[in-house]
Amino acid sequence: MFKSSVLHAAKRLPLTGVKVLEFGGLAPGPYAGMILADFGADVVRVDRTGISYNRDQLTRNKRSIAINAKSDGGKEVLQRLAASSDVIIDPFRPGVLERLGVGPKDCERLSEGKAIFARLTGYRSQGPYSKMAGHDLNYLALSGVLATIRPPGLPPIPPNNYMGDYAGGGLMCALGVMMALFERSVSGLGQLVEADMVTGARYIGTGPFLRARPDANLGPGWAEPAGQNVLDGGCPFYALYPCADGQFVSIAPLEEKFYAEFIELLAKSGVTADDPGFAPSKAAQHDRQEWPALRAHYASIFKQKTRDEWATYFLHTDACVAPVLEPHEIGPDGEGLLEVDGQRAWSEHGGIPEPAPSLARTPALRASDWYQSKATPAEQYFLTPGAHTKEILQAAGYSEGQIAEMLAAKVVQG
């Protein structure tokens, strides 16, 4: 069985041989499938018939089969595929796949207990929200996490969708699948993995939530209202400052020795603050009465040079200062603008991130290999529904004749 034309690394992939059936959805499901595909799993996306375009863009290294799941023939195909899959990714509201005969219990039976059925939802499966429509922002809202993303005194801000959809959803689902895969190697059995984005987002927030508890006793700066904590803007030396060119630097010299280095370097920078009489000192670092003056002091210094001037100045130091880069300033391996001697080594639009983590002996497929091997953006990002229907059916044991019949009857498309 061959995969679609992608350059395989010479090294082995960690998930070679793992077969994944990903029911087509948006964002979290495709992302979970993409992680597994990046690391070598054979991922087949199930599309419906009657469409020629699927706007999902997280499609690299996957194949597609298009099935009319409402037809009896289509259901039979689905069940046969489910029976031979190691992992099934279900992004629908619970009940949808049951009605097609490939719900968790069906797949358990079809696979003789081996399948790992991953159910990905937004809201939790219990409670009044479970049957309601929602989006990333809503899941974050219910998780307690959105409340913490806000400037002091202002409403929380929609932070794009990677915390709910991707972190709490797709990534969490992939992790659960991996754990179930390992457990199966011990027990021989699959199971149901349920990932909802409210719970996932909260789990990721465990650290800050625990630190914010009064009984954690971490002292001031950890359990204050949003915007008044050490790590959320309450502290002048864990903050962003605008520079002369309207860009920003991040400063974070929390530890005493880093702070000492930071203020020393500021003093030597040749820039005079608006308040030349005021000198930050190591001793006064945590004197909160001084913090407003400290904040004003830093602001007046940083605004006098450009972001890149500051970034260069603080390079190779432990002052914990780094520039806030925009997406187009970063290459595929995360190399930032300043790291390539002023030359842009990638296209002007920045790089598409490579998979993480890096497994030294059995690394993931390089994302850039995929994108560079495709001639058009359409081929780079989109997967045509049914592009691989025939080869998938062949591998599933259907004869040429059967496949032709199914195509003619529109039971499948491809």
Partner 1 sequence: MLDQRPLAGIRVVELAGLAPGPFGGMVLSDFGADVVRVDPAGVTESTDVLSRGKRSISLSLKDPRGLAVLKTMLSAPTTDKSLWRADVLIDPFRPGVLERLGLAPADLLKANPGLIIARVTGFRREGPYGKMAGHDINYIALSGVLSMIGRKGDKPLFPLNLLGKAFDRDFAGGGLMAALGVVMAIVERNKTGKGQVVEIDMVTGARYLSSFVLMLAKPSYEGASFSGPRGENLLDSGAPFYEVYETKDGGYMSLGALEPKFYKEFLTILLKSVPASLIPSPAPTPTSRFDIDTWPTLRSFFEAAFLHRTRDDWTSIYIGTDSCCVPVLSPLEVDSHGLSSIEPGNTVSEEGSTPVPAPTLSRTPARGVKDWQDSDTFVIVPGRDTRDVMREAGLGGEVEKLVKDGVMGASKKDSKL
Beta bridge partners of 322: 250
Between 35 and 67, name the residue whose CB sits nearer to partner 1.
Answer: 35
218 near partner 1, rule: CB under 8 A = yes
Rounded least distance, CB 109 to partner 1, Å: 15
- The encoded tokens of residue 52 equal 């020629």
Residue 213 binding partner 1, by CB under 8 A: yes
How many whole angstroms separate alpha carbon 19 and alpha carbon 36? 10
Contacts of 163 (CB under 8 A, 6+ apart): 136, 140, 145, 201, 204
Among 64, 111, 161, 285, binds partner 1 (CB under 8 A): 161
User: Per rule CB under 8 A, is residue 148 in the interface with partner 1?
Assistant: yes
Minimum Å gap between C-beta 27 and partner 1 is 7
CB of 66 to partner 1, least distance (A): 21
User: What is the nearest approach in angstroms of partner 1 to the Cβ of residue 7?
Assistant: 19
The residue (of 343 and 401) whose beta carbon lies closer to partner 1 is: 343
Is residue 197 within 8 Å of residue 134, measured between CB atoms? no
Which candidate, 298, 305, 348, places its Cα nearest to that of 328? 348
Give the CA count within 13 Å in the CB-facing half-sphere of 243. 18
User: DSSP letter string over 33-62?
Assistant: HHHHHHTT-EEEEEEETT-S-------TTE
Q: Does 317 bind partner 1 (CB under 8 A)?
A: yes
* Residues 290-309: x where in contact with partner 1 by CB under 8 A, - otherwise, as a string: --------------------
Among 62-70, 189-197, 279-287, 387-395, which window interacts with partner 1 (CB under 8 A)? 189-197
Rounded to the nearest whole angstrom, what is the least distance from the CB of residue 303 to partner 1 in the complex? 12
The separation between the first and the last C-alpha atoms of the chain, rounded to the nearest angstrom, is: 17
Q: 165 an active-site residue?
A: yes
Query: By C-beta, is 100 or 243 nearer to partner 1?
Result: 243
Q: Which residues contact 371 (CB under 8 A, 6 or more apart)?
A: 60, 352, 380
| Catalytic entry in 90, 136, 165, 196 | 165
Residue 316 among the catalytic residues: no
Residues labelled catalytic: 135, 165
